[in-house]
Structure 1
C-alpha cells in the first residue's frame, strides 16, 4: 500500500534497509501474495518484558487502544506472530554478500519496489 508520494515512499524504503543493519532490528516483508497468512485484521504490538511477567499485547482500534496481559492471549498472539514470520520472506540481510545474491528475500523485494517504482 502506498501512503504519501513517491519521494516519501522512497525515503521510507531506504530507511528500512538502513535500519536492517542494526543488530537488534529484524525486518521481514509479508507480501500480499503470501500463502497461509492467518486471518487477523488488526495490527498488534507484542511488548515483551524481562521474565515475561508483564508481557503485553497492544492493539489500536478506532475508539481506543486495547491491552491484553493474560498468558493465554499473549501466547495466542505470540503464535500468530510466529506464523506470520514463517510465511514472510526471509529477513533483510544487508551484508555485501547478501546484496549480490539472487535470492527472493525481503531485501530483494524492497529493492525491486524501490528501483522499479520510485
Structure 2
C-alpha cells in the first residue's frame, strides 16, 4: 500500500469518489457492488492502492456514469503508469514539483498566464537560475542547480516528436523584470521570440497600456486533460505548486484565462513589443 500517493494517483481516487457520491452510494455500498470491503474503496479513493483501467470502468458502470468520454479519460489516466523521468528527482525535490512534471507530461494542451516571471516552460537556464536565487528561504547552490535542470527537462514536452500545444499570456512587467541583469534578460527575450516561431507555441503580451484586467497578480497554469472534467489548474505559489480540479475552480480559471487572453495583444503585435524591449536593453 502506498504511503505517499502521487498527484495523479490522488486525482484518480478523487474522481472515483466524485462518481460514487454523485450516485448517492456509500463506500460500503460501493464495495458490495464490486465485491470488496469498504476499506478497499476508501484506499482506492485515497490513492493508497492502484486502480486498473478495467476496475475504473467497472466502478463507473456501477455508479451509473453514462459519460463515455469521461470514463474513457479516467481509464486513460489510470493507464499512465510507469516510472517517468521526474522520478530521478524524487530524493532531491519536493513531491508537488514532480506532480507538476507528470501533469504537464500527459496534458493535451498547456496554457499559462503570468505577470512577473517568464513562464517556466519558456525560461532559459540562466534566467531560471536567477529566479531560484530569489527563493526564501535561500536555496543552496546544489538545490538551485537541481531545480534548474528539472525545469529545463520539463520543457521537453514542447520539443518532443509530438509536442504539446502551449499558449502563454505574459504581462509586459514580466518582460521588463531584469532577473540577472540586462544581458540575461535580453537573451531570455530572444529565446521567447525564437520559441514563438514554432507553430504549436503562442505568446501574447498584456501591455501596461491595457491597465487593470481580470486575473492580475496571479500566475496560472492550466493543463487540459482528455475531457474538461479532468483538466487541472496549477497556481504557482512561493511555497510550491497548488493544484485545483473541482468543477467550479476549473470553470473559474477558464473564464479568467479567457479574459486575460482577450486583453492581450495579438501574437504579431506581442512579438513586436518584445522586439522593442530587447532593443531598449
Which of the five TM-score ranges fits, normalised by the shorter chain?
0.7 to 0.9
Preserved CA contact (<8 Å) 2:221 2:235: yes
Preserved CA contact (<8 Å) 1:56 1:69: yes
Matched, 1:28 2:204: yes
SS in 1 for 2:234: strand
Ranges in structure 1 where 5+ consecutive residues have no aligned partner: 93-104
Q: What is the CA-CA distance between 1:49 and the residue it aligns to? A: 0.7
1:86 and 1:36, CA in 2 relative to 1: closer, same or farther beyond 3 A? Answer: farther
TM-score after normalising by structure 1:
0.80
Ranges in structure 2 where 5+ consecutive residues have no aligned partner: 1-176
Structure having the larger proportion of residues in helix = 2
Preserved CA contact (<8 Å) 1:37 1:84: yes
SS in 1 for 2:210: coil
Match of 1:106 in 2: 270
1:36 and 1:63, CA in 2 relative to 1: closer, same or farther beyond 3 A? Answer: closer
Match of 1:77 among 227, 244, 253: 253
Match of 2:220 among 16, 19, 44: 44
- The CA RMSD over aligned residues, in Å, is 1.5
Larger Rg computed on CA atoms:
2
**Which structure ranks higher in relative contact order (CA pairs < 8 Å, sequence separation ≥ 6)?**
1
**How big is each residue's C-alpha offset from its partner over 1:41-60, in whole Å with a ceiling of 9 and x where there is no partner?**
22111011112232011112
CA distance in structure 1 between the partners assigned to 2:273 and 2:262 by the alignment: 17
Match of 2:237 among 57, 61, 64: 61
CA distance in structure 2 between the partners assigned to 1:80 and 1:8 by the alignment: 31
Matched, 1:16 2:192: yes
Q: What is the CA-CA distance between 1:30 and the residue it aligns to? A: 1.1
Q: List, as ranges, runs of 4+ consecutive aligned residues in structure 1 with deviation greater than 3 Å.
A: none
CA distance in structure 2 between the partners assigned to 1:90 and 1:37 by the alignment: 16
